[in-house]
Amino acid sequence: MKLKGTKTEEDIRRELVGSHESLFNDEIRSGLLSVIKRFFPQMKTAYILFWIPEQGEDIFSLLINNDRIAKVEIDRYDPDIEPIIESKQLDNTYLKGLRKYTRIRLAIALELANTDLKNEEKN
């Protein structure tokens, strides 16, 4: 999907960058980060696409690196309960049927992840 630089895209970009920084730097997201590292040891970067706070758990949809979508369900109150993980390869099959807003979020997250991965290679 070609991005156009709209205000909506800039708002999404700011939100994704903020959630990325929170994921890697804030204590409140350390549980999610440790789950991602445990189940995706090859992870170099990740972006939270969506977060659904449920009554007893938090459900996250994440872009892992630039090629995997993960759905992570973490119990909000008991860290000993094993998280539920679903993972899909990011390909055309996954992209079919996504709504426009979701495709825009994913395109921006992919752009950010690709930049992160290029910077990782340089270091």
pLDDT, tens digit (0-9, with 9 covering 90-100), for 43-87: 999 999 999 998 999 999 999 999 999 999 999 888 899 999 999
- Number of domains into which the chain is organized: 1
pLDDT at position 58, please? 94
Per-residue b/e over 14-50, b at no fewer than 16 CB within 10 Å? Answer: eebeebbeebeeeeebeebbebbeeebeebebbbbbe
Residue 2's pLDDT band (cuts 50, 70, 90)? confident
Residue 118's pLDDT band (cuts 50, 70, 90)? very high
pLDDT at position 93, please? 85
In a domain, 112, yes or no: yes
CB 30 within 8 A of CB 24: no
Write out the H or E segment, with its range, that includes residue 53: strand 46-53
Write out the H or E segment, with its range, that includes residue 101: helix 100-122
In a domain, 78, yes or no: yes
Q: How far apart are CA 44 and CA 77, in angstroms?
A: 28
In a domain, 1, yes or no: no
In a domain, 34, yes or no: yes
The number of residues in the chain equals 123
Which residue has 């409140």 as its token pair?
28
Q: How far apart are CA 120 and CA 117, in angstroms?
A: 5
Domain boundaries, position 26: 7-122
HSE-up (13 A, CA, CB side) for residue 25: 6
Put residue 22 in one of left, alpha, beta given phi > 0 → left and psi -120 to 50 → alpha. alpha
pLDDT at position 64, please? 98
